[in-house]
Amino acid sequence: MKRVYPDKEYCIGCHLCELACITAHSASKDLIIAYRDERAASGLSPCKRVFEKGDTCVAISCRHCDEPSCVAACISGGLHKDPETGRTVYDRDKCVGCWSCLMACPYGAIRRHPIENKIVKCDLCEGRAEGPACVQACPNAALKYEER
Amino acid sequence: MLFQPVNKNYHEFCIDRDPDLCISCKVCVRQCSYQAHFFDEARQKVVHDNTKCIGCHRCEALCPTAALNIRNKPSDFRTNKLWRPVFLQNIYKQADTGGVLLAGMGSPVDIPVYWDRMLLDASQVTNPSIDPLREPMELKTFLGAKPRKISVENDKNGKPSLKTKLSPQIELEVPIMFAAMSFGAINFNLHQAMARAATETGVVYNTGEGGLHKSLYKYGRNTIVQVASGRFGVHLDYLKAGVGIEIKVGQGAKPGIGGHLPGEKINDKVSETRMVPIGSDAISPAPHHDIYSIEDLLQLIFALKEASEYKVPVAVKIAAVHNVAAIASGIVRAGADIVTIDGMRGGTGAAPAMIRDNVGIPIELALAQVDQRLRDEGIRNQASIVAAGGIRCSADVVKAIALGADAVYIGTATLIAVGCTICGRCYTGKCPWGIATNDPKLSKRQNPDIAAKKLTNLIHAWGHEIEEMLGGMGLNSIESLRGNRDKLRGVGLSDTELDILGIKHAGR
Amino acid sequence: MKYVIIGNGIASIGAIEGIRKVDAASEILVIGAEDSPAYGRPLISYLLAGKIGPDRLALRPAEFYEKSNVTLKLGTTVTAIDTEAKTVTTDAGETIGYENLLIATGGIPFTPPIPGADGPDVYNFTNLAHAQTLISKAREIKRAVVIGGGLIGLKAGESLFDRGVEVTILELSPRILSLAFDENAASLAGGRLAEVGLAVRCGVSAKEIQRDSAGNLKGVHLTDGDFLQTDVVVIAIGVVPNYGLAKESGLEVDRGIKVDDHMRASAPGVFAAGDVAQARDLLYGDDRVIPIWTNAYNQGFCAGKNMAGADVRFLGSLAMNSISFYGLPTISVGMVNPPEDDASYEVTAVLDEKKKSYRKLVFQDDHLVGYVLVGDIDMAGMYTAFVKFQMPIPEEARRQLVAGEPDVLMWPDDFFQETWNPGTPE
């Protein structure tokens, strides 16, 4: 399956991937509205996390592991592996906010929703014709969406 | 500005931030290596300090909401044709610092650009034009000494073969090369990108005087290695690594001046490649201390030929100065296979502003004179001519070739292709575009995958355009254009200028 | 039948998904004692608290079993396993042959002998039926006593409290959550419960359950001499492996069903996984019963793959708990209470009582072997990485971890590359 692969050699730490992510997952699909209003009002937050250490940085998000720890840890059935697409699918309605997945995922790819008792996790921008927004927005090709 | 020297308010640029669009996402803050943008905790929003802006436009380019516009500061001094603002500002600066004014990139001063005063011909009715998409079009170029004549012999079956022994040649698919920009002045990522793009497009790039990193030896077939006055990174394997060796005597942006790569730019990779200690300044002397005459130059040329076993042509690069034609003649007679002439608008990582803006002559005039002189002396075949310094587009390439160049170097255009906005602060090592910097945080902004692709695109695009222009002139080979000044006409030029360029005025 | 699974919990789901990774077609039979398809057992506290409805209990979408070609035999208990003949017999008298059998019967509530415990209104809280009983009971009662201050007890208490019941939780040891957490974390959690209005009493337990002559529950006599009036008692002391069936069938049993590193029990073709199995522990290296949700899935998954013919070693269980008390999240992973007399452990702890935030890291040599987070839990997974992958932690990285700033860039370069950006040249 195609996954998003971050390249720390060329990640420039601009955080544009985060902005793209929240835009793609916003109601308005408009960066300005999403960033200014939806973040505050509905807790819209990115699935990506940019780490910086010295000169190096990297933007990570869910790896959609073949055998994900989060699915093993999920008590609600809110996370499961789609056998057809291979994606680790999150069903928001089922999530009870127990944070088991957040604890179990050793990649730190799951975050708490700032307002609701739900998690925030990459869905590879499912349904988005151009593919994952973060990859499209990266100005330095430090995120690649491909089969490996 | 409070707590600043008074002339700080005479800053060069203004950052316009549209409050309706700015979302304080801090992308600009993270991109600006001059701290012109910052997040103001008190105001809880991103603000800026205009005095720090160097006009590189990096923030503007990456702003996700297009909220930024960088413009020249509109407030001006009282209009004065003599004391233009730049002179005032320079004096203020020097009165503060007591230092030499440094500059980066090519000269921005208003001297005639002869490319713009020359126009190309096209076929009408007779000698019909050629559509390069339908018919073959040859841009292939060979650089190196050509025999005065060739002789052919036939074997016993009558099959002919070349009897003349040819000198080594550099083969170019398109008569454009990436100019010498040293590893150190620009970073490894771009060196790799140039190497890859040259390989992809069948041209060559020039290492500049910083040596060749060991990981780039594999691109040797598309590399010219340079030997300059500092002799940085020069050793036997290096001399044998490429398809040509260039002795750099002078540089168009700073004729008569050496080079100075500040210690801050010498990281581990640069140090290893240049063979100088990490953090120490790398100083290239103004002259080669072993060249004080044409005879000395001859010795060096042949030393390099010996070292490289006569397998590659040796080029000599000089700045376009007043006696350029005579100097070029001497260079050819000293045994150089290629003469590179670098005009005064050529770029640089760092040069004293006074030198850059006041020394040397435009490439167009120098090129025409060198070509003419070598022809007049009957030695034009002994060396190829490469023109450099301010080639901006494919039409400039075509005009240069019509003036007598075999090929051109593009340096500034190469950098622009990967993002450079000619802000001219290369010497600070803080290039926000990740070009003229070895700061790992900045240099990674040049992903070689992207840069190589852009450079490849540029060569391809210019190649297509050159074919179009050649076809329009009814030519199907770049060879037919070389030194073909009949294809050029001048506009708005004096008789002297036309005479030097060796072209007729438009209408004639 | 190619695959028979006894038990319909999370280990069973893991096994089905494990089998299907290797064998896409062969039929699977799941025999479950409870009546519903696999549900999230920890969700029963959410159900009891009224936070979710019964419609949200299912662990997998409705079509899961059909798509996975699984036959469900629910409400059915296996009464015997014949490991020679390779058959199981159900309480309906049916005998079913198997090629590969997984015993995933989980745990059963541990109920200590308390006088008066036999009779109405004394409950456990480990399955859906218990939750449903307590939901209907909650409407008519005022007071409840929960015996046990561990995870199940506290969640039972919290959920009943949410139903409007006055709750007292009794914990025999000096503090709640003595297994999974340390004193600081327990005190933050206990404080949060007390703040909301639950009574938590430590160092006491139930001595006797008082009933009237008709047998109706009246109250609980405590070990300290107190008497608590109550309408129901919930015994939530813990669970023990449900290995009776396995033992009777002649399988080797210690504290749980003994399994090897492929989750194989002592008879050919028989596997065990989940709360009933005694399997390798990642940190200690020995075999233990670690009744943790994630382990149950992982063990089931590993067993399932091996049942289908793969050769996969079980990497080991890792104790981990994530539980929130009225919005105060707590997480504990790995070794959190190292033996005090063992000098090889080094503990760092940062407690901010005002912010209700706590971070405790347990190092052994240059490895992180466990941690506790309360309040600020967002970086939990990053800590888990260091425990789980057993990465060596140099001094500088340790400082960063202690400061609460773990990140992926601290990983060894090769491992980072392999994990995040594999298959790239140079």
| Nearest chain A Cα distance for residue C255, angstroms | 24
Place of tokens 């999920």: A74
Are B12 and B94 contained in the same domain? Answer: yes
Q: What is the mean pLDDT of residues B106-118?
A: 96
Are B73 and B176 contained in the same domain? Answer: no
Question: C299, C421, C424, C426: best mutation site toward chain A, by most A Cβ within 10 Å?
Answer: C421
Average pLDDT of chain A to the nearest whole number? 96
Task: Name which of A77, A97, A99 is nearest C60 (Cβ-Cβ).
Answer: A77
Question: C299, C315, C382, C411: best mutation site toward chain A, by most A Cβ within 10 Å?
Answer: C382
Under DSSP, the state recorded for C375 is S
Are B172 and B68 contained in the same domain? Answer: no
Structural element, H or E, at residue C158: helix C151-162
Phi, psi of B350 (to 5 degrees): -165, 130
- Helix, strand, coil percentages for chain A (3-state, nearest 5): 25, 20, 55
- pLDDT score of A146 more than 70: yes
Instruction: Provide DSSP, B417-447.
Output: HTT------GGGT--TTSSS---HHHHTTS-
Gap between the Cα atoms of B476 and C101, Å rounded: 80
Partner-chain contact A16 B64, CB within 8 Å:
yes
Q: How far is CA C110 from CA B164, B309, C241, in A?
A: 101, 89, 9
Residue B113 banded pLDDT, cuts 50, 70, 90: very high
pLDDT tens, residue by residue, B368-402:
999 999 999 999 999 999 999 999 999 999 999 99
Percent of chain C whose predicted confidence (pLDDT) is above 90:
90
Q: How far is CA B374 from the centre of its chain?
A: 24
Q: How far is CA C114 from CA C119, C168, C177, in A?
A: 11, 17, 22
- For domain C327-420, the CATH superfamily is FAD/NAD-linked reductase, C-terminal dimerisation domain (3.30.390.30)
Average pLDDT of chain B to the nearest whole number? 95
Gap between the Cα atoms of C144 and C165, Å rounded: 7
pLDDT of residue C17: 94
Gap between the Cα atoms of C276 and C257, Å rounded: 6
pLDDT tens, residue by residue, B37-50:
999 999 999 999 99
CB C361 within 8 A of CB A87: no
Domain range annotation of chain C: 3-108+240-307, 122-237, 327-420
Are B89 and B176 contained in the same domain? Answer: no
Gap between the Cα atoms of B48 and A125, Å rounded: 34
pLDDT of residue C16: 96
Gap between the Cα atoms of B141 and B169, Å rounded: 9
pLDDT of residue B76: 76
Q: Tell me which residue range forms the domain holding B273.
A: 167-479
User: How many Cβ pairs within 8 Å bridge chains A and B?
Assistant: 50
Partner-chain contact A112 C377, CB within 8 Å:
yes
pLDDT tens, residue by residue, B309-342:
999 999 999 999 999 999 999 999 999 999 999 9
Task: Name which of A53, A77, A109 is nearest C409 (Cβ-Cβ).
Answer: A53
Gap between the Cα atoms of B16 and C167, Å rounded: 63
Are B192 and B56 contained in the same domain? Answer: no
**Contact list, C56 vs chain A (CB under 8 Å):** 76, 93-94, 96
Domain termination residue (choose one: B78, B99, B120):
B99
The chains found to touch B (3+ Cβ pairs under 8 angstroms) are: A
**Contact list, A73 vs chain C (CB under 8 Å):** 293-294, 297, 320, 322
- For domain C3-108+240-307, the CATH superfamily is FAD/NAD(P)-binding domain (3.50.50.60)
Domains of chain B: total: 2
CB B144 within 8 A of CB B384: yes
Gap between the Cα atoms of C18 and C8, Å rounded: 15
**Contact list, A52 vs chain C (CB under 8 Å):** 409
Residue B2 banded pLDDT, cuts 50, 70, 90: confident
Are B72 and B174 contained in the same domain? Answer: no
SS3 B90: helix
Nearest CA in chain C to A60: C420
Domains of chain A: 1-61+124-143 (no CATH), 64-121 (3.30.70.20)
**Contact list, A12 vs chain B (CB under 8 Å):** 30-31, 434, 444-445
CATH number of domain containing B445: 3.20.20.70
Nearest CA in chain A to B451: A140
| Nearest chain A Cα distance for residue B442, angstroms | 8
Q: What is the mean pLDDT of residues B72-100?
A: 89
pLDDT of residue A83: 85
pLDDT tens, residue by residue, B399-410:
999 999 999 999
Partner-chain contact A10 B31, CB within 8 Å:
no
Give me B428's structure tokens.
Answer: 């600070």
**Short-list B434, B462, B463, CA closest to B448:** B434
Task: Name which of A9, A14, A20 is nearest B31 (Cβ-Cβ).
Answer: A14
Nearest CA in chain A to B29: A14
Residues in chain A: 148
Partner-chain contact A19 B31, CB within 8 Å:
no
pLDDT of residue B262: 84
Are B173 and B92 contained in the same domain? Answer: no
**Contact list, A11 vs chain B (CB under 8 Å):** 444
Task: Name which of A32, A139, A140 is nearest B23 (Cβ-Cβ).
Answer: A32
Q: Quote the ipTM score.
A: 0.95
pLDDT tens, residue by residue, C353-402:
888 899 999 999 999 999 999 999 999 999 999 999 999 999 999 999 99
Residue B219 included in any domain = yes
Nearest CA in chain A to B434: A12
**Contact list, B444 vs chain A (CB under 8 Å):** 9-12, 55, 140
pLDDT of residue B110: 93
Give me B1's structure tokens.
Answer: 């500005």
The chains found to touch A (3+ Cβ pairs under 8 angstroms) are: B, C
- pLDDT score of B5 more than 80: no
Task: Name which of A31, A139, A141 is nearest B62 (Cβ-Cβ).
Answer: A139
pLDDT of residue B133: 93
- pLDDT score of C426 more than 70: no
Partner-chain contact A6 C421, CB within 8 Å:
yes
CB B294 within 8 A of CB B318: no
pLDDT of residue C425: 56
CB C50 within 8 A of CB C42: no
Are B91 and B175 contained in the same domain? Answer: no
Q: What is the mean pLDDT of residues A94-109?
A: 96
Nearest CA in chain A to B445: A12
- Cβ of B144: how many Cβ atoms within 10 Å? 22
CATH number of domain containing B39: 3.30.70.20
Task: Name which of A69, A96, A108 is nearest C379 (Cβ-Cβ).
Answer: A108
pLDDT of residue B9: 82
Partner-chain contact A111 C378, CB within 8 Å:
yes
**Contact list, A7 vs chain C (CB under 8 Å):** 421, 424
Structural element, H or E, at residue B289: none
Instruction: Provide DSSP, C7-19.
Output: --SHHHHHHHHHH
Helices assigned H by DSSP within B69-166: 85-97
| Torsion sign (Cα): B281, B286, B287, B289 | negative
Gap between the Cα atoms of B367 and B379, Å rounded: 15
Q: Which CATH fold topology does C122-237 show?
A: FAD/NAD(P)-binding domain (3.50.50)
Are B177 and B315 contained in the same domain? Answer: yes
Q: How far is CA C294 from CA B430, B452, C7, in A?
A: 50, 47, 16
pLDDT tens, residue by residue, B220-264:
999 999 999 999 999 999 999 999 999 999 999 999 999 888 888
User: Quick one: how many helices (H) and strands (E) in chain B?
Assistant: 15, 23
Between residues 2 and 31 of chain A, which touch chain B (CB distance below 8 Å)? 9-16, 19-20, 31
